[in-house]
Amino acid sequence: MDLHSVVDQAKGVFGDQAEPVELLGWFAKRVGVENIAVSVSLSGGVMLYFAEMALPGADVLFVDTGYHFAETLKFRDEAAKKQNIITLSPRLSVREQNEKYGQDLYDSDPDRCCAMRKVAPLDAALRGYSVWVTGLRRSKDQEVPLIEFDEKREIIKVNPLSQYSKDDVDRLVEEYGIVENDLRKFGYTSIGCWPCTVPTKEGQDERSGRWSGKSKTECGLHI
């Protein structure tokens, strides 16, 4: 299958805007659900909701970095009762990483920590799929295409929420009763590993609680 051709077809059909369920359903018909992977951080539940609606039975990839909040792991376990959640793990345990690279690498070299504990396991898992579905959304500093071809991974990348704002997501959660990570109740607007995530204050950017105090703003998956 020529994946570049599929991307061109999809862009011709949808342009840069589409309803997520319709978009995901289109790709399921073209490549088959078994060739689609949905990656989630389990920070929120909206992407899980759309995947359940449009891609029943699809693999949902979650990377357990070894540093997740208990609430996030609980959210994963609840989601696994309805969806095919596949938990990915880094090559090194936290203890082994500490022994090899020093204690608390997330503080001394967060880019390397993310690369080993999050990016590498997902990169390896994605090799078996034709389409990668993400929960990536636009922000005031970043435009996100609806459909693209990831040249590095040689995979179609679909961002169904690319045009959604935080208010749009909040509206969906309220309207459809979408279950969220319990940490949302305590001011966590973007949730990653516990050493690198803090609650945000009113008026702050929703991702300002990630890698607080550092210049880092992204784990490396989407760079």
Among candidate residues 97, 149, 90, the one with its CA nearest the CA of residue 120: 90
pLDDT of residue 139: 65
d(Cα 32, Cα 145) in Å, to the nearest integer? 22
pLDDT of residue 184: 93
Token output for 79: 């989601």
Among candidate residues 32, 26, 34, 33, the one with its CA nearest the CA of residue 9: 26
Rounded CA Rg of the chain: 17
Among candidate residues 129, 128, 141, the one with its CA nearest the CA of residue 222: 141
Are 102 and 108 in contact, with CB atoms under 8 Å apart?
Answer: yes
Question: Which of these is catalytic: 113, 193, 196, 219?
Answer: 219
Instruction: Read off φ and ψ for residue 178, nearest 5 degrees.
Output: -70, 130
pLDDT of residue 140: 56
CA separation, residue 1 to residues 13, 59, 199 (Å): 19, 20, 44
pLDDT of residue 1: 81
Which positions of the chain have pLDDT values less than 70?
139-141
Are 160 and 23 in contact, with CB atoms under 8 Å apart?
Answer: yes
Residue 202 identity (one-letter amino acid): E
Per-residue burial over 168-197, b = 16 or more CB atoms within 10 Å of its CB, e = otherwise: ebeebbeeeebebbebbeeebbbbbbbebb
Task: Give burial (CB, 10 Å; 0-12/13-18/19+) of 139.
Answer: middle
* pLDDT 10s digits, 107-134: 999 999 999 999 999 999 999 999 999 9
pLDDT of residue 108: 94
Q: Where are the alpha helices (H) located in the chain, listed in sequence order? A: 3-14, 20-31, 46-54, 70-79, 94-101, 105-108, 110-114, 120-126, 166-176
Q: Is-catalytic flag, 113? A: no
- pTM across the whole model: 0.94
